[in-house]
Amino acid sequence: MANPDIQAGFNYHNATKHSYRSVRTNTHFLDWANQPLPFKIYPRLDLIPLPREFREIGVPALSTIAHVAQRDISIPSLQTLSELLYFSAGVTRRRTFPGGEIYFRAAACTGALYEIELYFACGPLADLEPGLYHYAAGEFGLRRLRAGDFRGALVEATGGESSIAHAHLIVICTGTYWRNAWKYQARTYRHFGWDNGTILANLLAMSNALEWPAKVMCGFVDSDVNRLLDLDTEREVAFSLVSIGRVEDLPSAPPAEILLLRLETVPLSKREVDYPAMRIMHAASSLLTPEDVALWRGSTLVVSPVRAVGELLHLKPLGDTALPPDSTEQVILCRGSTRRFAREPISFVELSTILDRSTRGVPADFLNLFGAQVNDLYLIVNAVEGLPSGAYFFNRERRGLELLKEGDFRREAGYLGLDQELPADTSVAVFFLADLDTIFQRFGSRGYRAVQLEAGIIGGKLYLAAYALHLGTSGLTFYDDDVVTFFSPHAEGKSAVFLVALGKSAKRT
Ligand SMILES: Cc1cc2nc3c(=O)[nH]c(=O)nc-3n(C[C@H](O)[C@H](O)[C@H](O)COP(=O)(O)O)c2cc1C
C-alpha cells in the first residue's frame, strides 16, 4: 500500500469526534479581532478580470448533477471559464452585519469561512495564455502565478492519469488550515473534504452544462502539486484535482525543475494558531512518488452488493421529461442554507428524486465504477407523505429505502445534529456513514480524504437537487458516536461522516 499508516487516519478521526461532553467542555471562543481574511490575495500580481456577463446555458440542474458529459465540444474561453468558476466558488451574495460583511459563495461552506482556494493549469485556450492561474474569487479575476503550460507536471504528479493527460485545464483545490480552524480547530481537516466537495458538486454540474467531461482526482504526489503552486504547506495544502475537458494532444513535458516563486500574499490574520493534528494527518495520507500514486489508484474500491435487511420501498423519482426546468445556474444562485425548516412534509416523489439524482455517480479516481460510493446513506424521516416516520437505510444498488425502525425521531434527530433545531424541524435528515476500516485497508489513510470529499460532493448535489425542487437544505454537524449507535445494529462498525437536512424552508426558498 502506498500510504500504509492506517492508524494515523483513525487517530485523527477519533481525536476530532464531537460528543455531548466534548462540545460542552471545549473552552474555544471566536476571537473576532483576529478573524481570518476569507480570500487569498497576491498583492503584487496583476489581476486579469473575468467577464461578469453570463449567458443562460439553461441545462436543468437535476440533469447536470446526475451525469457526466461524454463529449467535449468547445475549447474553454475566458467567458466559459468565468461561468465555470463563478458558479462553483464565486461570491453570489453579500450580507452586512454590525461587525462587517459576509461574502457568501456559490457553494455551502462550514461557518461561511471559505478555506478552499481554486487554481488551474491550462494549455493555450481560446483567449488565455497557457499558465498556472489563481482564481481571485473576491475580485472576480485571475492572477497568473506561472507563464507556460504546466499540465505536464500534473500528469507526472498523478502517475500519468489519462483524464489529466488529455484535459484542457486542470483545476487544483487547496485547503487553508487557519481560515477554517479559527472556528473549528482541528476538525477543519474534515471540513476540507466537505467544503471542497460542495464546490466540486457545482463544478461537476457546470462542466456538464458546458459539455466538458470532468473527473475528480484524490491521488497525486502531494509535494509536487504543492511545489507547483508554491504553497507554504504549514498553512495551505492541495486537496483535490479535477480534469476539465478532453483533447487528443498530450501536453508538452514539464520543465526539468519547477522553480520556487516566493510570491507575497496578504496575511490572513494578525496571528495564526497551529493545530498539529491536521498536519500529521495530512503527512500520513500523502503520496510520495508517481509510482505510489499509480499503486494507490489501482486499489480503487470494488463495491460489494449491499445485503437487503428489510422490505424495500422503491424510490419513485420524477422521470427525465417531468423534471423542473430550473437551470444549474438559476439553482446555484438561489441556493442558500435553510436557517429554519417548516415542520411540513415533503412528498415521497420529491425525496426519491433528490436521492436518485444525487447518487447516480461521482467521476473520481477512487471509484472504479460510475455509481459506486464509499459512503452509505442513512435517513431519519420526520415528515414525508406516504412514508412512515422512522430510521431508514438507503440501498443504493436496489434504489430503495429499507426501514430500520419506525417511530417519531424528531427529538433524536435534533440531538444527533449537535442539539440544533434544524434537524429536528426538517422533513428528512440524511446521515452519511462509512466503513473506515475497509476504506483504510484499501486506500491507506488517504482514504480519509476520499471519504470526506465524496460526502461533500454528494452533499453538494443534495443541496442542488433540493433547490431545483424549490425545497430547502442545510449541511449540519453531529455527535459522531451517537449517530452510529442510533443506526445500529445496521451501522455497527461504521463511522459518521456527514449530515444534510432536507425539507421545506419556513420562508419560501
Ligand atoms: C458541511 C456543512 C456543515 C454545516 N453545518 C452547519 C451546522 O451545523 N449548523 C448550521 O446552522 N449551519 C451549518 N452549515 C451551513 C453553513 O453555515 C452555510 O453553508 C454557510 O453559512 C454559508 O451559507 P450558505 O450555505 O447559505 O451560502 C453547514 C454547511 C456545510 C457545507
pLDDT in tens, 51-65: 999 998 999 999 999
Region class of 140: left (phi > 0), else alpha (psi between -120 and 50), else beta: left
Region 65-70: what's the mean pLDDT?
A: 93
Residue 8 CA, ligand 1 centroid: distance in Å: 28
Residue closest via CA to ligand 1's atom 5 equals: 476
Residue 500 CA, ligand 1 centroid: distance in Å: 9
108 lines ligand 1 (CB under 6 A): yes
pLDDT > 70? residue 107 = yes
pLDDT at residue 434, rounded to an integer: 97
End-to-end CA, the chain: 47
199 lines ligand 1 (CB under 6 A): no
198 lines ligand 1 (CB under 6 A): yes
Q: Which atom of ligand 1 is nearest to the CA of 93?
A: 27
pLDDT at residue 102, rounded to an integer: 94
Residue closest via CA to ligand 1's atom 30 equals: 475
Percent of the chain past pLDDT 90, that is, above it, reads: 91
Residue 427 CA, ligand 1 centroid: distance in Å: 17
Question: What pLDDT, in 10s, does the model give residues 153-202?
Answer: 999 999 999 999 999 999 999 999 999 999 999 999 999 999 999 999 99
Question: What pLDDT, in 10s, does the model give residues 218-262?
Answer: 999 999 999 999 999 999 999 999 999 999 999 999 888 999 999
Residue closest via CA to ligand 1's atom 8 equals: 476
Residue 430 CA, ligand 1 centroid: distance in Å: 15
Residue 425 CA, ligand 1 centroid: distance in Å: 16
Residue 340 CA, ligand 1 centroid: distance in Å: 12
Query: Which range (219-223, 296-300, 342-346) has the least confidence?
Result: 296-300
Full-model pTM: 0.98
202 lines ligand 1 (CB under 6 A): no
Please tell me the distance from the alpha carbon of residue 221 to that of residue 172, in angstroms, as a whole number: 13
Q: Which atom of ligand 1 is nearest to the CA of 104?
A: 27
Mutate which of 97, 109, 187, 463 for ligand 1 pocket (most atoms within 8 A of beta carbon): 109
Distance of CA 269 to the CA centre of its chain: 25
Residue closest via CA to ligand 1's atom 9 equals: 476
375 lines ligand 1 (CB under 6 A): no
pLDDT > 50? residue 499 = yes
Instruction: Answer yes or no: are the C-beta atoms of 204 and 58 closer than 8 Å.
Output: no
Percent of the chain past pLDDT 70, that is, above it, reads: 97
pLDDT at residue 509, rounded to an integer: 45
Instruction: Answer yes or no: are the C-beta atoms of 181 and 278 closer than 8 Å.
Output: yes
174 lines ligand 1 (CB under 6 A): no
Region 61-90: what's the mean pLDDT?
A: 94
C-alpha cell at 505: 424552508
Residue 111 CA, ligand 1 centroid: distance in Å: 6
Region 339-344: what's the mean pLDDT?
A: 96
pLDDT at residue 159, rounded to an integer: 95
pLDDT at residue 27, rounded to an integer: 95
pLDDT at residue 97, rounded to an integer: 86
Region 452-472: what's the mean pLDDT?
A: 98
pLDDT at residue 369, rounded to an integer: 75
Mutate which of 95, 110, 116, 331 for ligand 1 pocket (most atoms within 8 A of beta carbon): 110
Query: Which range (140-149, 159-168, 301-310) has the least confidence?
Result: 301-310
C-alpha cell at 60: 436543468
Label residues 236-249 b or e (16+ Cβ within 10 Å = b). Answer: bbbbbbbbbbbeee
Residue 307: pLDDT band (50, 70, 90) is: low
Residue closest via CA to ligand 1's atom 28 equals: 475
CB atoms within 10 A of CB 275: 17
pLDDT > 50? residue 96 = yes
C-alpha cell at 186: 482541528
Residue 360: pLDDT band (50, 70, 90) is: very high
Residue 338 CA, ligand 1 centroid: distance in Å: 9
Instruction: Answer yes or no: are the C-beta atoms of 403 and 311 closer than 8 Å.
Output: yes
Question: What pLDDT, in 10s, does the model give residues 382-411?
Answer: 999 999 999 999 999 999 999 999 999 999
Label residues 408-431 b or e (16+ Cβ within 10 Å = b). Answer: ebbebbbbbbbebebbbbbbbbbb
pLDDT at residue 508, rounded to an integer: 52
Residue closest via CA to ligand 1's atom 19 equals: 108
Residue 152 CA, ligand 1 centroid: distance in Å: 37
Element at 200 (helix H, strand E): helix 188-209
